[in-house]
Amino acid sequence: MKNKDILKANQSVQNMYRRENRVCWLLLIPFMSLFFLFTLLPVFSSVVLSFFEYDMISFPSFTGIGNYLRMFTGDKVFLTVLGNTLAFAVVTGPLGFIISFLLAWFINEFNPIARSILSFLFYAPALVGNAYFIWTVAFSGDSMGYVNNFLISFGFITEPIVWFKDVRYNMTIIMIVQLWMSMGVSFLSNIAGLQNVNKELYEAGAIDGVRTRWHELWYITLPGMKNILLFGAVMQIQSVFSIGAIVSQMAGYPSINNSVDTIVNLISDVGTMRYEMGYAATLSVFLFLMMAVFRVLVGNLLNMLGSDD
Amino acid sequence: MNRLLAILLTIVICTVPFGMAVSADEVSSVTDGQMEITESEYSENEETVVDEETSEENATEDNLAEQETEIPLVEYNEYIESKPQNTGDGEIVVDAGTSVNNEGFTTTFTVETEGLYTIGMSYKATDNKTSDLTVGLKIDGEYPFSEASRFVFPRFWTDKEKSREDERGNTYAPEQVIYDNYYFAEAFDISGWSSSVYNVYLTAGEHECTVNAQNGEFELEKIVFGVPESAQDYSGAEGDEYDGEPIVYEAEDAFLKTSNALAGKGDLFSSSVTPNNPMLSMINYIGSSNWKEAGETIYWKINVPKTAVYTLGFSYRQSEIINGNCYRHLKIDGKTPFAEAEKVTFSYDDSWQYNLWSDKEGTPYKVLLTEGEHTLSLTVTPGDMTNVISLLNGTVAELGNLYRDITMITGESVDTYRDYGLFNQIPDMEDKLNTMLEDLKSANKMFEEIAGHSSGSYTSVINGMIRVIEKMLAKKYSAHRYVSSYYSSYSSLSASLAEMRNMPLDLDKIILYSPTEDKLLKKDGFFGSTWFSVIRFISSFVTDYNMIGSGDSAKEKLTVWVGWGRDQAQIFDTMLKTSFTPSKNIAVELKVVNATVVQALLSGDGPDCILQHSRTEPVNLAMRGALYDLTQFEDCNEVLERFAEGADVPYRYKGGLYALPDTQSFYMMFYRTDVFEEFGFSVPKTWEEFEEVAMLLIKNNLSVSVPYTQITDMTMVNSGVGSLSLFPTFAMQNGLSLYTEDGKSTNLSDPQVISSFKKFTDFYTKLRIPTTMSFFNRFRSGTAPLGIDSYLLYTTIEAGAPEIDGRWSMAQIPATVREDGSLSATSSAGGTGCAILNISKNKKAAWELLKWWTSAETQLAYSNNVESVLGPTGRISVSNTEALFNMSWEGDIAEQIKAAREEIEEVPEYPGSYYLSRALDHSFWNVVNSNKQPKDMLTTWGKEADEEIARKWAQYEK
């Protein structure tokens, strides 16, 4: 917007900017070409592929909307998996988001040294990547697993529970692990965002009648870091909808009765095990659209921050 | 209910501390009540047990009668104690000059002086096996002691030529061939914790001796009953002292070795090893993990320039036994020069060392050598470790027994708040613990004396065990709280006991010095070795290490993909270069690839062959036209005869054969003979008997293992349904098949299939056998004295649990009694296959490679090599029948393996068959965890599988 005003005002400056723009484009080329090659192109090609049947060896054959029909009407597993994905997203998404913000808020109150140490501690699980493996030790199905051993020694159970093979427990456990892992990028960005809120606003707020920290949070802090929150929300949506590795590593694939498998698991199963690339592409297109819808919903929700309604 | 009771009791115990005795009584009364219930539940079954027991008694009596014709043999230790200790006089040489196979060869000889003699043979192996010869020796028609029925005589291997060189000057290990001449060896105890030759007591007069080969065939030149050697202590050497330059013999140029894995090796990264060249890859030392087990010997021919007194030096690296020593028995011309040579010590350092062979004070030993050629040999021996190992061996066995006794009282999961009164229940527990404590402490002291310091990996393990025992002794009433740490300390102690026998050593040079020489050869200094590394680093940019040794002159080139670890790939690469490429003139580029072949096919740039590919993949790829049909080769059927019958079934698709099996494993039953004896069980032959034994064991708080592989990741189903659980075995024993004949749908809704599934899940639902357990560990401690597992576990137990040697065995899995009364002990199997890709331009060469790879020699050599590097878990479940039988199985076990091998039945693979494994897994967990009906589950999930399979067929039938 700003640029345009100036451009209207001064033709010569416009020329200068054009030249500068050219340099910008030049600098963008390395990134854009990679981005196009490895992100955009695959997205488009998967949209195209979703209308084909393709086993990676023989040539693709056109099936029209056959794959989409199969997804909604012919695949029982898909419906189960969709439910699981939504359950994970709805529970761990907002919860993880809120927890990571609240933690960031608390940690922000400490002095800088304690703050860095604490933020490192909370960020560590996400940093290490496959750290969730320690949970498989804790919830090992053997009577020597930590949780089983604890429960047995205190007399709550008499026989070890095979946690990940029991529909009663596996979903909950994986949600806990996912929450534990969710102190990721959004947590770090929240800490950064909190420090970028204009300090003067707090003073002004105090004069204008902000009485409690909750007031402060709702009317000043949150609106002040709306953009950061939106960024965090996008990351969170992306991460909760693509939960998959954790599930297959902990509960195995297929999990018992497909009770915790997610769309991502199904995609990699269809693609790499059954070599049905067309159908896998269809599923990922669906996942992509679902994420996009959620992104719009969350964006609207965040816009309501700081309002009095 | 139980939970409530437990909580209530806890409250009672906590609130009424003075009423301890009362509440304890309550506990026992409650448990008694439970026991009664369980007993009455089983009472029906018990009656049948009684009935069958009586019939069995008759059967065992018959067996006994048969066995009584054979006189039980005494063990060597007893034998030698019962004989006078006077040694014989004068070697007795019995000429033979005949070929010996398992029928044996008998001759007579005369003894002049009564006494003890060693047993030696001059022989050469005449078959093309690689395992050691097992030889039985009867004197006057009887084995003098039990070990005499299976003396181990090594095969002698030698380099085919001096180390080979490629065009660029890289050297690589020469091929190992059987030494084509008679060589002499003595019967030697290879059990690993004693280091002695066997003696036999011969009375004066004429005797008859019979030599038979239990394993292998050899030509016997003569038998020699020698005078037991009693080497004198070192007392210096008299004669002129040598005063020339040091004489160096490169250790890798060995004359003979007792294993074909003992080929030269190359250390590229040290300038202290000779020969070396920073630009090239050189063979420059010998030994390492291939030279670690007692009895393994390397012989060198050394040419001594003049008769004089020398000192002996070694350039070696002993980096494996941290803060410990490695021992070798040195012989010159087959004689031990003096007692100290029986344990030449090689101390620890993480890099190469140049040391003189000297006593503890550092005075070098002097040896008188005459001019001319001599044979010098170094044999692996436990040396000073002998006593420690034999002491610990006994202690660890005792620890295991005690753990079992404890488990029989407490069960697998100990209730911390219950008073078990372990010290009252197990009468001599305190004495036992005290003896073990003392033994462990003295073992630690021995270690300290040997190594010179108190820190070391072994001592810390022992200390851990000591601490646990001390705690148990100190707090007798809460001793049960330490049971789990007792168990973990015991496990690691037992594991390190298995490690202790290993004495790996890298040897670079043997050097003869002048005793007056004060300038010893030294390893490269800091600057020298840094410079070497710099050059090595720079040259790494221009050297293609893949091409080393593969030879530019080879006609054809192949690319092979394997999904192995680096160690296996390296071993295989060496084998390719030393054996395959030279003989077939085909160069092979080996790539370790973790991707699936499909991606490669997609890019159009794939390998020619894939090896050890998972079970379901060949058919998966074949139906998409990616693999080459092997039946198009003329000698395909001939090659198939190498494998078990039907081993090719999973790799067939529409009549074509798309892979050769290269590994195949099947189920065997493992049982602890000592526990079986204690309870008076006989080895179960049918599932009914198995169940009875299992029930009684479980009643005594012990457990049984029936394997169930959890599908923990996506690729697991790739290993095929036959290796995931025992269910396919059950079904096939009942003569059922999991698929319909045409493979277009599953057979899961068949009532008979359902009933065998129910029988299978009953193990987990009725007998409450845990679905996950570490069977090896529990078997070792005896808390799971019976179980079924892949036959490969045999090696693991044999090598990993030395303390239970001779107290366990392996047998064929139990059989199902079919309706017509016949027994079927069919076992399903798992394994991998090797295939040729359709895009390969060199299919003939690729076929040559597959034939070479599945041949008995290659499979055996590969398995042995991997085993020697990675330990017993590295053993490959070879698919080649000959290779399997050539592995070292002890007498009875070999029969069981053979019998089981004949009963293998493979489950075929069809498009979409991965869904069968999944359907079974879903059904299994639903039945076991959620008490669902097997029938409902199998029908529901079977239908799902049918749909997927039908869809897959439809896709490729167009």
> Which pLDDT tens digit goes with each residue over B409-447?
888 777 777 888 888 888 889 999 999 999 999 998 888
Q: Is the pLDDT of residue B71 over 60?
A: no
Nearest chain B residue (CA) to A55: B624
Nearest to A58 among B10, B624, B770 (CB): B624
pLDDT of residue A288: 92
* All residues at 6 or more sequence positions from B372 whose CB lies less than 8 Å from its CB, including other chains: B303, B304
Lowest-confidence segment of B189-193, B634-638, B803-807, B934-938 by average pLDDT: B189-193
Contacts of B416 in chain A (CB under 8 A): 153-154
The phi, psi pair for A285, rounded to 5°, reads: -60, -45
pLDDT of residue B36: 38
Q: Is the pLDDT of residue B631 over 50?
A: yes
Contacts of A155 in chain B (CB under 8 A): 2-3, 6-7, 10, 415, 417
pLDDT of residue B194: 58
Contact (CB<8Å) A158/B413: yes
- Round to whole Å and give the CA distance between B574 and B565: 15
What mean pLDDT is predicted for residues B102-117?
A: 87
Quick check: bond before A254 cis, omega within 30? yes
Nearest to B598 among A57, A143, A269 (CB): A57
Q: Is the pLDDT of residue B540 over 70?
A: yes
C-alpha pair distances (Å), B142 with each of B106, B136, B146 = 12, 10, 10
The pair of structure tokens assigned to B749 is: 């809704």
Contacts of B952 in chain A (CB under 8 A): 274
The phi, psi pair for B832, rounded to 5°, reads: -130, 170
Lowest-confidence segment of B153-162, B640-649, B941-950 by average pLDDT: B153-162
Nearest to B929 among A144, A162, A268 (CB): A162
The phi, psi pair for B788, rounded to 5°, reads: -120, 135
Written as one string, the DSSP assignment of B301-313 is EEEESSSEEEEEE
- Round to whole Å and give the CA distance between B227 and B88: 6
The pair of structure tokens assigned to A253 is: 């694939």
CB-based contact (8 Å) between A254 and chain B? Answer: yes
CB-based contact (8 Å) between A273 and chain B? Answer: yes
Residues in chain B: 958
pLDDT of residue B545: 65
Q: How far is B874 from chain A (nearest CA, A)?
A: 25
**How confident is residue B25, by pLDDT bands cut at 50, 70 and 90?**
very low
Q: Which of B611, B613, B615, B667 is nearest to B917 (CA)?
A: B615
Contact (CB<8Å) A254/B768: no
pLDDT of residue B958: 59
Structure confidence by residue, pLDDT tens digits, B715-754: 666 788 888 899 999 999 999 999 998 888 999 999 999 9
B190 vs B345, higher pLDDT: B345
pLDDT of residue B414: 77
CB-based contact (8 Å) between A57 and chain B? Answer: yes
Q: What percent of chain B stands above pLDDT 70? A: 89
Nearest to A143 among B413, B624, B626 (CB): B413
Contact (CB<8Å) B713/A157: no
Lowest-confidence segment of A14-18, A261-265, B153-157, B249-253 by average pLDDT: A14-18
Nearest to B598 among A167, A269, A275 (CB): A275
Contact (CB<8Å) B771/A152: no
The pair of structure tokens assigned to B700 is: 């005594």
- Round to whole Å and give the CA distance between B100 and B221: 10
Q: How far is B433 from chain A (nearest CA, A)?
A: 24
Q: Is the pLDDT of residue B874 over 80?
A: no
pTM value is 0.77
- Round to whole Å and give the CA distance between B103 and B211: 9
Q: In the predicted model, what is the mean pLDDT of chain B? A: 83
Structure confidence by residue, pLDDT tens digits, B880-900: 988 888 776 766 788 889 899
- Round to whole Å and give the CA distance between B299 and B255: 5
Contact (CB<8Å) B3/A165: no
pLDDT of residue B420: 86
**How confident is residue B188, by pLDDT bands cut at 50, 70 and 90?**
confident
Q: For chain A, which residues score pLDDT lower than 50?
A: 1
What does the CA dihedral B25, B27, B28, B34 come to, rounded to 10 degrees? 150
Q: Which of B741, B326, B305 is nearest to B501 (CA)?
A: B326
Contact (CB<8Å) B929/A155: no
Eight-state DSSP code of residue B295 = T
Q: How far is B173 from chain A (nearest CA, A)?
A: 41
pLDDT of residue B28: 38
Residue type, B601: L
Instruction: Please give the helix or strand (H or E) that residue B124 lies within, else none.
Output: strand B115-125
Contact (CB<8Å) A57/B625: yes
pLDDT of residue A6: 57
Nearest chain A residue (CA) to B772: A142
pLDDT of residue A4: 59
B382 vs B660, higher pLDDT: B660
Q: Is the pLDDT of residue B11 over 80?
A: no
CB-based contact (8 Å) between A245 and chain B? Answer: no
Q: How far is B828 from chain A (nearest CA, A)?
A: 23
Helical pair A170-181 and A76-108, crossing angle rounded to 10 deg: 40
What mean pLDDT is predicted for residues B770-779?
A: 86
Nearest to B413 among A140, A152, A275 (CB): A152
Most distant CA atoms of chain B, gap in Å? 92
Contact (CB<8Å) A254/B922: yes
Task: Calculate ∠ Cα A77-A83-A85, nearest 5°.
Answer: 100
Eight-state DSSP code of residue B919 = H
pLDDT of residue B31: 38
What mean pLDDT is predicted for residues B625-629?
A: 90
Task: Return the residue in B605, B617, B624, B714 with the most chain A beta carbons within 10 A, the one to mutate for interface testing.
Answer: B714
pLDDT of residue B63: 44
Nearest to A269 among B596, B714, B952 (CB): B714
CB-based contact (8 Å) between A155 and chain B? Answer: yes
Secondary structure of chain B: what % helix, strand, coil (to 5)? 40, 25, 35
Nearest to A165 among B599, B770, B929 (CB): B929
Q: Is the pLDDT of residue B215 over 50?
A: yes
Nearest chain A residue (CA) to B929: A166
What mean pLDDT is predicted for residues B899-923?
A: 90
Q: How far is A279 from chain B (nearest CA, A)?
A: 13
Contacts of B484 in chain A (CB under 8 A): 144, 149
Cβ atoms of B386 and B342 closer than 8 Å: no
pLDDT of residue B26: 38
What mean pLDDT is predicted for residues B221-230?
A: 87
What mean pLDDT is predicted for residues B486-512?
A: 87
